Amino acid sequence: MAKRVIVIDDEYSISGLLFQHLSKRGYDVVAMTNGAWIKEGLIKIDQVDIIVTDFHMKRIDGEEIIRYLRDNNYRGKIVLSSSVDTSNLKDLQVDVIIEKPYTLDEFTRIIEGLS
């Protein structure tokens, strides 16, 4: 069964690209630019294997999303992408922090490493 991945990035050029990239590799991906929908309970998080979220976003930032996931006992993997230093966010318990800009090959290696 295909692994379920949620990609959240408020830049559509990125979320759309990651969607195409992972879909071609057989992942079952839902990509979105508005992470607030996670907090609205739109996604059944217990059925998601990996959540990839950007850190800096306009409507809701990655930190808020991750805290929500952890508070709601999300047991899957979390990948946080960021273009700024996130060393002060160690308590967030993310599985991988990937620094922007990254290549699709680097991204693939990370996702495959978590699968």
Partner 1 sequence: MDRTGLKEGELFLLNKEAEDRSKVYLLLSNFYLQRPDRQLLTRLRTPDFINAMRSFLSEDEFTEAIRLLEGFINSIKDIPDNEVLDILGVDWTRLFRGIKKGYGPPPPYESIWRGEGRIMGEWTRKVLESYHQPGIGMDLGDELPDYIGIELKFMARLCYEESSNWKENAISEAGRFLNFEKEFLDNHIQAWVPAFLTEALDEAKTGFYRSILELTQGYIKTDQRYLSSRL
Residues in contact with partner 1 by the rule CB under 8 A: 1-2, 4-5, 12, 15-16, 19-20, 23, 27-34, 37, 40-44, 47
> Please, which residue, 36 or 96, has the CB nearer to partner 1?
36
Q: For the CB of residue 96, give the shortest distance to partner 1 in the complex, in Å.
A: 21
Residue 3 per-residue DSSP state: P
Q: With residue 50 as reference, give the H or E element that holds it.
A: strand 50-54
Nearer to partner 1 by C-beta: 44 or 90? 44
Chain centre to alpha carbon of residue 114: 12
Query: Can you tell me which residue has the tokens 């990239």?
Result: 21
